[in-house]
């Protein structure tokens, strides 16, 4: 077990390191000169060079990578070229905003997906199962901005019941802000519903067909008790993993949703940084997302081990 954990952590560090390499060097091949981008096309060449020197972008690549990595390890994410100030507060604020939106989406989709999947499994092969499965899969493949636009047309433009921008503006109360987040959360919910329902359905069907479920039914327990006490406990394991691994995906979806609803989250931050060629901001944002994803995957693994005693013994994952 300890060995497994150590190895898992070691591989995680390795993954993060490779990630930092990818992010840094991808950031470096972005065309354009940061000094020129900040000062504009009419600035004097010498001023651009001076700014480049001040920003350190004229140093050799390896030096810059090591500086950047060293800074990261000390919690210094670098300086935004566009804002001329530390990146960290921007990233932190954006991350908090995104977490709010993502949490709302999760709080809605997790129970919905599990209930949908379990119902589909209990009526497997019947009409209601087909409806849940097919709807879930089709919605899962629909780009967020497509569902987002349909929702905006219905609820924002025609019915006028929900605000179509995600930020309530300064001074708005929590409740007001919450109202503004409902519409942006739904496209994320629609995308995730299909997977969670699918996993919950597969897990439930498997444990419904298991020996222990049959034994429980044969010994005369009521169907609801069998489902609640024997089936669900086992069927929800894979579902939990799916939920945790969807975190990374969710953040990708945030780029689109946050752009569509004009919300100051991490997705929007990365998008704008890429447009402005703001390397430091882009790298920090992308790296934060990578870290969140890797941690979420680790959490999923640990949760799975904690919930499933069979996995505690082996220690090997293949």
Partner 1 sequence: MTDVTADAGGAAPLGPLGPAGGTVAVAAPTQRMAPARWSLLLRRPTFIVGGIIILFWIVCAIFGKSFAPFNPLAQNLLSNNTGPSASHWFGTDQLGRDVLSRVIVGARTILVVTPLATILGTVLGTALGLVMGYFGGWVDLIVGRIIEAVLALPFVIIAFLFIVAVGSSTGSLIVIIGFVFTPLIARTVRATVLSERHLDYLSSARLLGENSFRVMFGEILPNIMPAILVEFTVRLGYAVFAVATLSFLGFGVQPPTPDWGSDIAANYSGLLAGYWWQVLFPALAIASLVTAVNLITDSIEQVLNA
For partner 1, the binding residues (CB under 8 A) are: 11, 14-16, 18-19, 22-23, 26-27, 29-31, 134, 137-138, 140-146, 149-150, 152-153, 156-158, 164, 191-192, 195, 198-199, 241-242, 245-246, 248-249, 251-253, 255-256, 259-260, 270-271, 274-275, 277, 282, 286, 289-290, 293-294, 297, 300-301, 304, 316-318
CA dist 103 and 107 (Å) reads 6
State which residue, 141 or 218, has the beta carbon closest to partner 1.
141
CA dist 295 and 16 (Å) reads 10
Residue that has been written with the tokens 């020197």 in this structure? 53
158-169: buried (b, 16+ CB within 10 Å) or exposed (e) per residue?
eeeebbbebbbe
For the bound state, the minimum distance from the C-beta of residue 19 to partner 1, rounded and expressed in Å, comes to 4
For the bound state, the minimum distance from the C-beta of residue 281 to partner 1, rounded and expressed in Å, comes to 13
State which residue, 213 or 305, has the beta carbon closest to partner 1.
305
State which residue, 122 or 202, has the beta carbon closest to partner 1.
202
State which residue, 76 or 259, has the beta carbon closest to partner 1.
259
Q: Which two tokens stand for residue 36?
A: 């020129």
State the DSSP H helix or E strand holding residue 312, giving kind and residue range, or none if neither.
Answer: helix 310-314
For the bound state, the minimum distance from the C-beta of residue 222 to partner 1, rounded and expressed in Å, comes to 33
For the bound state, the minimum distance from the C-beta of residue 286 to partner 1, rounded and expressed in Å, comes to 6
State which residue, 130 or 223, has the beta carbon closest to partner 1.
130
Classify residue 43 as left (phi > 0), alpha (psi -120 to 50) or beta.
Answer: beta
For the bound state, the minimum distance from the C-beta of residue 249 to partner 1, rounded and expressed in Å, comes to 4
């Amino acid at each position: 077990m300890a060995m497994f954990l150590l190895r898992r952590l070691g591989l995680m560090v390795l993954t993060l390191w490779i990630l930092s390499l990818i992010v840094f060097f991808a950031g470096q091949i972005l065309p354009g000169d940061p000094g020129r981008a900040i000062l504009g096309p009419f600035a004097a060449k010498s001023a651009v060079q001076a700014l480049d020197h001040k920003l350190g972008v004229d140093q050799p690549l390896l030096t810059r990578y090591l500086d950047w990595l060293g800074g990261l390890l000390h919690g210094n994410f670098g300086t935004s070229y566009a804002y001329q100030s530390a990146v960290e507060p921007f990233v932190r604020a954006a991350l908090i905003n995104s977490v709010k939106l993502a949490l709302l989406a999760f709080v809605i989709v997790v129970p919905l997906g599990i209930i949908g999947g379990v119902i589909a499994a209990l009526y497997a092969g019947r009409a209601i199962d087909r409806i849940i499965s097919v709807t879930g899969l089709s919605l899962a493949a629909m780009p967020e901005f497509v569902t987002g636009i349909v929702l905006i047309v219905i609820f924002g433009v025609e019915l006028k019941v929900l605000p179509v921008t995600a930020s309530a503006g300064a001074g708005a109360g929590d409740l007001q802000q919450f109202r503004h987040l409902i519409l942006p959360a739904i496209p994320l919910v629609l995308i995730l519903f299909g997977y969670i329902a699918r996993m919950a359905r597969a897990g439930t069907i498997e444990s419904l067909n298991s020996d222990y479920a049959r034994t429980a039914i044969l010994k005369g327990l009521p169907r609801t008790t069998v489902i609640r006490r024997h089936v669900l406990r086992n069927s929800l394991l894979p579902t939990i993993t799916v939920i945790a691994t969807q975190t990374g995906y969710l953040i990708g979806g945030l780029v689109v949703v946050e752009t569509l609803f004009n919300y100051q989250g991490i997705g929007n931050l990365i998008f704008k940084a890429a447009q402005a060629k703001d390397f430091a901001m882009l790298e920090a944002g992308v790296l934060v997302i990578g870290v969140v994803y890797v941690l979420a995957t680790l959490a999923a693994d640990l949760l799975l081990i904690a919930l499933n005693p069979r996995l505690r013994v082996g220690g090997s994952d293949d």
